[in-house]
Amino acid sequence: MAGARLKDVAERAGVSIKTVSNVVRGEIRVAEQTRQRVLRAIAELDYQPNASARHLRTGRSGIIALAVPELVAPYFAELAAEVIAAAKKRGCTVLIEDTGGDPAEELRIACGLSDPLIDGVLLSPLSLDEAMLATRERRVPLVLLGEQSYRIPADHVLIDNSAAAQEATEHLLRLGRRRIGVIGQPSDRAHATTVQRMHGFLTALHAAGVPHDPRLAPDTVAFTRADGASAMRVLLGLDEPPDAVFCFSDLLASGAVRAAHEHGLRVPRDLAVVGFDDIQETGYSVPSLTTVSPNKREIAELAVDAVLQRITADAEAPHTRLTAGHSLVVRESTQPDSPPG
68 Cβ partners below 8 Å, 6+ apart?
76, 79, 80, 96, 97, 98, 99, 124
pLDDT given at position 61: 65
pLDDT given at position 153: 72
d(CA 40, CA 274): 42
pLDDT given at position 164: 97
pLDDT tens, the chain, 341 aa long: 556 777 888 888 898 877 887 777 666 667 888 888 888 888 888 776 665 445 434 455 688 999 999 999 999 999 999 999 999 888 888 999 999 888 888 888 888 766 667 888 999 988 887 777 777 765 788 899 987 766 677 889 999 999 999 999 999 999 999 999 999 988 766 678 899 999 999 999 999 999 999 999 999 988 999 999 999 999 999 999 999 999 999 999 999 999 999 999 999 999 999 999 999 999 999 999 999 999 999 999 999 999 998 887 665 677 788 999 999 999 999 996 544 44
> Cα 87 vs. chain centroid, distance in angstroms?
16
The SS3 assignment for 112 reads coil
Full DSSP string of 16-74:
-HHHHHHHHTT-TTS-HHHHHHHHHHHHHHT----HHHHHHHHS--SEEEEEES-TTSH
C-alpha distance from residue 72 to each of 143, 227, 284, 322 (Å):
22, 16, 19, 26
Percent of the chain at pLDDT above 90? 54
The SS3 assignment for 228 reads helix
pLDDT given at position 77: 95
The SS3 assignment for 278 reads coil
Q: Answer yes or no: are the C-beta atoms of 179 and 240 closer than 8 Å.
A: yes
19 Cβ partners below 8 Å, 6+ apart?
10, 13, 30, 34, 38
For each of the domains in the chain, give its residue range(s) and CATH number, in order of start.
6-49 (1.10.260.40), 62-159+295-324 (3.40.50.2300), 161-294+328-334 (3.40.50.2300)
pLDDT given at position 189: 63
pLDDT given at position 298: 97
pLDDT given at position 338: 42
H helices of the chain, where? 6-13, 17-24, 32-45, 51-58, 74-89, 103-110, 130-133, 161-174, 192-207, 225-236, 250-262, 296-312
